[in-house]
Structure 1
């Protein structure tokens, strides 16, 4: 208790302490990457950090400022060292349960004392791509444009990982389990829960979603989510995995309790248009972005079920795919006419501002968009992975803070009409190269090394009976899930050496 401030309530003290514990947790997650040549310093650093945070927690600083500091700290550490995984990047500050977001908006956005800090927060985001570009230049050899030069840190990291090759690291072979509860109905999307090894969900054109548990053995279906009156087109996990949102051709967005499968809320499209895709705002899970068949992109407040004022925009075609960058500042959306649009997202109001448009291929549907801040620790440029029915998997570089795209690589796959999806491997690679995975219409799963100029295929999995529509890694890359047009879901396990 600080002199002159009186006695704060127990709830206030607990709240302040909780924020500083989260700050320490963020620091601890990145501690392994500090001063690689002096590991003893890392122990001293985290101990001193813990001591200072405990002492400061006793003083009466405003909770809103503490939370703002936590967000900035998370962003700056991620810019300096890179996000640790696709699921957890820039999200350490959002550890509170998303269930609370169903009852109220974040008080940070409502606190007038935090208004002045918002501008600074946005200025940090605006500079993020310039910072990443500077880091990128540091690891490229100026004598050979585009060639990657491993740093001494990368060499040390590979040695820590056993110096295994990328091919060895992604030697998935054996089938861990096969789910067939959606047999005869395509499974267009599946996704492991955030930072979870054994919780997986998928949606089906039969109008249901399934949540599966892969451990303890044998794997089983935990709960089936029933309520949609039409094919389920897409879904997304909340950050804390207690809520799933889903879209359907029945024109509704549904919010589900993942424990018991209960539908918490149903949000109907005012024009009864088919809802085709959805995604959570990564820094505020109270907001979900939905794309529909009438070319409209819309931000929805899931607490109220109402659309956010200023949070809508039109595309040239049916909205099929979306992805935020890790800080949640840029949103990319793709349509069925071959265009990818970038939007600037206002964190304070939820407003969308159209920034750039890229025509990937006129008339070729953009089925999948996946954003990644760093491809690997040796290729630190923000990138976008795109499936567009052109018989290629496309990798784009994000060249500025408005989401402008520049083609970097393409990989041949069979893709002419099906809604295929692809992903970046979630862990920051300790090895030379970086890997992406995609489904294909030839019923195979392909692993590509994005830094290889020739023979880029690292692995190829066969076992599906139809086009592979989606793929998903668990958080430690020990398991890979894939789903196909026949309704089969296969869980692949990494080959153990």
Structure 2
């Protein structure tokens, strides 16, 4: 039951940035209240079956309200059952009614039956859509979409230039990753090869380092925020995984790697933050329970090389892992047990090493294909965009961009907001000390912006939730926070 409620909260959290965009404090209060309601209802001992049906229903209604941000499942297959459930008030749980009252108080109340009718109409239009499937953005023109976006171009939308702030608390030591907290505009963290992590606040007030997390006895290669931002998990070359409370800097737990090997990457399971996946320097992949410190049964696998990068799809059912031999392996993930089942394997070849993987269900509202973005270092280094072609995580190459990356673990990301504009943007670091913005729909002159300011290879990049700020980190410990130009 706890796993189902965590999935419900995860669905809500993914849509949280779109609720009351002018009142970020309400979004925080909303998620806390939802978490409280789910915990209280879980104690009542409801059966898991109705809760899972409720989860599917809620995900579809939120997709209808805010747009399908992350769900990859087909809406057509469940349209008739969804309408039937929506028209049956007995199928709605008490906490869903609480949610309806909360939305109503903010002026967003909607009739369930009316919402289901609109959703079915939308799905029927999609079912008869005859747009060609060949491209990531199948429409040749999107006048209404551009009007909704303010009729600005992709280049104008990503015109980052001004420096908001520079952090240098990790001077002379590489900062391989920087990441904003989930649904937070101003909370930022980074890890360093000096063995520490930093938690920074950009506003309100002047930007400042809130605390430095100390405890690792070796370089910190990777870290990840929990969905609720109340925990950080870090992977270090000292062979340990640590769980931190960023609010006060405490190390909550230290978990040794099952193989006793240096840990190179880590990621939270999106729907069950009690599970963390780690990759190590002895080709090992392990699913760890952070409450017990133990490996999940069936939650271990081996790759052909050192595991450098990990990424889940948004629903948390697919995991991709990349190694230093250029292989990308997909795994089916059992959310309830943490069991891994190996599915597909793709080899880049040419001596490549996969230093970064990120996934996105839709690149923009005009792009329907779930996609995976890969950074590969070595001879012929490049940024690769793949289409996910099946339910087992099979990949098909769509675009390739040259990037200066010979020896450094450069990372890349999708832009977080789905855009109504034509085109879709990705961002990457580079060993030439620049940050590049690529329009993945352009066959030539794909660079729409280039940020210059670092004095060393740029390793990590991260957007905040509303794309107003971009953070980048480099091999000499400098973190630059860039702000969007105001038109």
Q: TM-score, with normalisation over the residues of structure 2?
A: 0.77
Aligned to 1:42: none
| Distance in 1 of aligned mates of 2:266 and 2:8 | 33
Confirm or deny: 8 A CA contact 2:266 2:310 kept in the other structure.
yes
Aligned to 2:216: 228
Instruction: Select 2:55's aligned residue among 71, 75, 78.
Output: 71
Aligned to 1:415: 405
More off after superposition, 65-74 vs 274-283: 65-74
More off after superposition, 319-328 vs 360-369: 360-369
Unpaired segments of 5 or more residues in structure 2?
21-40, 72-122
Aligned to 2:414: 424
> Do the aligned partners of residues 482 and 350 (structure 1) sit closer, same or farther apart at CA in structure 2, a change above 3 Å counting?
same
Aligned to 2:159: 171
| Distance in 1 of aligned mates of 2:11 and 2:445 | 44
Instruction: Select 1:141's aligned residue among 118, 129, 132.
Output: 132
Confirm or deny: 8 A CA contact 2:6 2:272 kept in the other structure.
no
Aligned length: 407
Aligned to 1:259: 247
| Residue 284 of structure 2 corresponds to residue 296 of structure 1 | yes
Aligned to 1:466: 456
Kindly state the Cα deviation for residue 77 of structure 1 after the two structures are TM-superposed.
4.9
| Distance in 1 of aligned mates of 2:365 and 2:274 | 32
| Distance in 2 of aligned mates of 1:451 and 1:341 | 26
> Do the aligned partners of residues 78 and 136 (structure 1) sit closer, same or farther apart at CA in structure 2, a change above 3 Å counting?
farther
SS at match of 1:256: strand
Confirm or deny: 8 A CA contact 2:70 2:315 kept in the other structure.
no
Kindly state the Cα deviation for residue 329 of structure 1 after the two structures are TM-superposed.
0.4
Kindly state the Cα deviation for residue 138 of structure 1 after the two structures are TM-superposed.
3.8
Confirm or deny: 8 A CA contact 2:429 2:436 kept in the other structure.
yes
More off after superposition, 466-475 vs 386-395: 386-395
Q: TM-score, with normalisation over the residues of structure 1?
A: 0.76
> Do the aligned partners of residues 485 and 22 (structure 1) sit closer, same or farther apart at CA in structure 2, a change above 3 Å counting?
closer
| Distance in 1 of aligned mates of 2:47 and 2:414 | 36
| Distance in 1 of aligned mates of 2:373 and 2:50 | 35
| Distance in 2 of aligned mates of 1:20 and 1:251 | 33
1:9-28 equivalences under 5 Å are none
| Distance in 1 of aligned mates of 2:454 and 2:154 | 24
Confirm or deny: 8 A CA contact 2:267 2:311 kept in the other structure.
yes
Instruction: Select 1:477's aligned residue among 464, 467, 477.
Output: 467
SS at match of 2:481: strand
| Residue 484 of structure 2 corresponds to residue 494 of structure 1 | yes
> Do the aligned partners of residues 25 and 177 (structure 1) sit closer, same or farther apart at CA in structure 2, a change above 3 Å counting?
closer
What's the Cα RMSD here? Answer: 3.1
SS at match of 2:261: coil
| Residue 191 of structure 2 corresponds to residue 203 of structure 1 | yes
Instruction: Select 1:345's aligned residue among 302, 313, 333.
Output: 333
| Residue 395 of structure 2 corresponds to residue 395 of structure 1 | no
Confirm or deny: 8 A CA contact 2:270 2:315 kept in the other structure.
yes
SS at match of 2:375: strand
Unpaired segments of 5 or more residues in structure 1?
1-16, 33-56, 87-131
| Distance in 2 of aligned mates of 1:21 and 1:244 | 18
Q: Deviations over 1:340-371 (max 9, x none)?
A: 00000012211000001000124311000000
Q: Deviations over 1:394-428 (max 9, x none)?
A: 00000000000010001111111110000000000
Instruction: Select 2:206's aligned residue among 218, 222, 225.
Output: 218
Q: Deviations over 1:78-127 (max 9, x none)?
A: 776754489xxxxxxxxxxxxxxxxxxxxxxxxxxxxxxxxxxxxxxxxx
Q: Deviations over 1:46-67 (max 9, x none)?
A: xxxxxxxxxxx9xx99274564
| Residue 344 of structure 2 corresponds to residue 356 of structure 1 | yes
Q: Deviations over 1:429-479 (max 9, x none)?
A: 121111000000000000001111221111000000000001000000000
